[in-house]
Amino acid sequence: MRITMIGTGYVGLVSGVCFSDFGHDVICVDKDQSKIEMLERGEVPIYEPGLDTLMAKNVAAGRLTFTQDLKAAVDGADAVFIAVGTPTRRGDGHADLTYVYAAAEEIAHAITGYTVVVTKSTVPLGTNRKVQEVIEKARPGLDFDVASNPEFLREGAAIDDFMRPDRVVVGAETERAAEVMSEIYRPLFLRDFPIITTDLESAEMIKYAANAFLATKITFINEIAALCERTGADVKQVSKGIGLDNRIGNKFLHAGPGYGGSCFPKDTKALARIGQEHAIPMQITETVIKVNEEMKRRMISKITDLCGGSVNGLTVAVLGVTFKPNTDDMRDAPALTIVPALVGSGATVRVSDPQGRHEGQALLPGVEWIEDAYAAAADADAVILLTEWNEFRGLDLERLAQAMRTARMIDLRNIYSHEDATRAGFAAYASIGRRDAEDAA
């Protein structure tokens, strides 16, 4: 199959590379000349484990190319995927569909034969029908179909998610479009991965409903963690106890400082807005959004409490600022709430993150970036574990404590324990939702 991917952001690039590894001929299109030049040099503009190797393999095989020329890329394509950004629109919380509709109009003028135009971007209900209207208006009588194919990729594990998905969702309302999509995903079908074909609106809703549900699960356990601290319960034991129930499952039950990233914040806000527009308030989702922001602010109080009520004049080492490990993504990361609050309260903040500096330097002004965790903690008054990178899971706690001026640890990912910290020489330790969190404070 000949596939054109419009947009080389996270979703577009990962999808394009993986489709080419299926054996399809893929052209990735982007208007950003510097990004295309970077890709043509074999450089990947995002951090995703294994993506550079897979990209190089398929470029060498002649199945994957990059261009700014959308018209040439669309000419003769069996399917054109729209994978442009849909950021939250300022003022109303809705997804901004400007780039989607602009891409649809450009595609309309470039199509030369029957083509399936596939929306890969996360879009509100009704968007695919609007995409169809945009194309029909631009070129009446054009032979094409529109399909919806939402992505379910976890940053840091995107290639595995694409190659071994829980399910593939396709919204297609003509047999012809369904056949094209079936052929595209044939390698997965042959390996018995579930492929669900629905109407357009159902496909759009599945994406939002899935992300809102997972965000709800995270926020629920974070609220339970707060209650555990007050009652003496241990959230890790509670999570294990409820996660063993097959109806609940053990994923997304790890207490932390709140969710962030490219999907959950944006998609929960968009779903809440869709509900308002249809007079069906998404009350659970709206509450999840509110509680998640409160959780991030609660972390600031936890840090301040462990530091004796104020961080003014103290040096604080923050380990990890990306929203999760194995990504360089800083979008809506808890660090963007916590770190500026520490700087604003008079703390000297040192940051160490394996991949966060590229984006973080612009987003976190006033901090010092240090490559090594132990160097960041040298003569510090507190160390905060904010992102659970593997290198922070195996720290020499004794070495860390000895390097600090005042050995205090705020473990916002529950990597260690009060016993671990005390044995290593920490004078104070706080975590989330465990008995030691309150005792240490």
> For residue 191, with 0-12 CB atoms within 10 Å meaning exposed, 13-18 middle and 19 or more buried, which class applies?
exposed
Token pair in block for residue 98: 């400007």
* CB-based contact 74:110 (threshold 8 Å): yes
* Total number of residues shown for the chain: 441
Distance (Å, whole) CA 319 – CA 326: 14
Asked if residues 327 and 44 have their Cβ atoms less than 8 Å apart, the reply is no
At 288, list the tokens. 């999840």
Which stretches of 15-167 are assigned E, i.e. beta strand? 25-29, 64-67, 79-82, 115-119, 144-148
DSSP string, 261-293: SSSHHHHHHHHHHHHHHTT---HHHHHHHHHHH
Using CA atoms of 303, 306, 311, 315 in order, give the dihedral in degrees to the nearest 10: -90
Query: Which contiguous run of DSSP H or E holds residue 59?
Result: helix 51-60
Beta pairing class for 368-369 and 348-352? parallel
Do residues 429 and 421 make contact, with C-beta atoms less than 8 angstroms apart? yes
Residues 7, 118: Cα–Cα separation, whole Å:
13
Is 46 within 8 Å of 8 (Cβ atoms)?
no
Question: How far from each other are the two terminal CA atoms of the chain, in whole angstroms?
Answer: 60
- Catalytic entry in 18, 28, 228, 263: 263
3-state secondary structure 251-267: CCCCCCCCCCCCCHHHH
Residue from 328, 327, 331, 337 nearest 267 by CA: 331
Tokens 């509680």, located at residue: 291
Alpha-carbon span 441 to 429, nearest angstrom: 7
Residue 263 is a catalytic residue: yes
H-helix or E-strand spanning residue 170:
strand 168-171
Tell me the backbone φ, ψ of residue 424, rounded to 5 degrees: -80, -10
Q: Return the H-helix or E-strand segment holding 211.
A: helix 200-231
Q: Looking at the annotation, which residues are catalytic?
A: 263
